[in-house]
Structure 1
């Protein structure tokens, strides 16, 4: 997994999001205190998964994201964020395309399991 160098330059999230079209493939745009800051486009259902060693941070930039938990569904609109607690099984779902900002410790697979995770790519 790529680790970006800190450049001291501003990152334009909209430009980064316009540079790709795939869904559920996180793109690293910067690093912060040993965490990857990523953007991702989502559409449809992602996998049910959990992170045993870390929380899972979601910030909606555009669109609507539903985060299904086993006991409820959290609905997020632009400007809203939700942190899935460590070890809680969840599934992100987007009926239309959604743009997200994600923050995860460097090296953490996006599904919590390296066998099923999408590879993080620095852009």
Structure 2
């Protein structure tokens, strides 16, 4: 995949369901993922890593225990490692995530919303 040109919008059109991240590319030990978000996710944290959200379209609220962070198109927010958070999308949000390879979408919470990282075709 290192020699392939990837288009973010084309990749997002291949994502069938919300909350199922798909690897767009890898950079060193990090994955660049595309994801569709809709509704409320689960409260979780990533004890060993930060998590970068880049909203491409829609409106996303990152709920933190002490405040809410509101993101619109082209906004970036980094959830620091170990900080409990819960993404909330009012309608479909398309986003790009950057996090270390092997990072699980539900972090330390686990559960039925845990999705294995999908590869784009």
Q: Which interval holds the TM-score relative to the shorter structure?
A: over 0.9
Instruction: Tell me the secondary structure at the aligned position of residue 78 of structure 2.
Output: strand
CA distance in 2, matches of 1:68, 1:105: 22
Structure 1, unpaired ranges of 5+: none
The answer to whether the 8 A contact 2:23-2:31 is kept is yes
Task: Tell me the residue number matched to 2:59.
Answer: 64
CA distance in 1, matches of 2:117, 2:12: 14
CA distance in 2, matches of 1:113, 1:10: 33
1:51 aligned residue (46, 49, 53): 46
**Offset from partner CA, 1:41-62 (integer Å, 9 cap, x none):** 0000001000000001100000
Q: Once the 2 structures are TM-superposed, how far is the Cα of residue 114 of structure 1 from its aligned partner?
A: 7.9
The answer to whether the 8 A contact 2:21-2:34 is kept is yes
Structural RMSD (CA): 1.2
Instruction: Tell me the secondary structure at the aligned position of residue 61 of structure 1.
Output: strand
Task: Tell me the residue number matched to 1:120.
Answer: 117
Q: Once the 2 structures are TM-superposed, how far is the Cα of residue 113 of structure 1 from its aligned partner?
A: 3.2
Q: Once the 2 structures are TM-superposed, how far is the Cα of residue 9 of structure 1 from its aligned partner?
A: 2.3
CA distance in 1, matches of 2:88, 2:29: 27
Instruction: Tell me the secondary structure at the aligned position of residue 12 of structure 2.
Output: helix
State which drifts further: 111-120 or 57-66.
Answer: 111-120
2:89 aligned residue (72, 90, 94): 94
Task: Tell me the residue number matched to 1:85.
Answer: 80
CA distance in 2, matches of 1:78, 1:47: 22
Which 4+ stretches in 1 moved above 6 angstroms?
Answer: none
Task: Tell me the residue number matched to 2:99.
Answer: 104
- TM-score when normalising by structure 1: 0.91
Structure 2, unpaired ranges of 5+: none
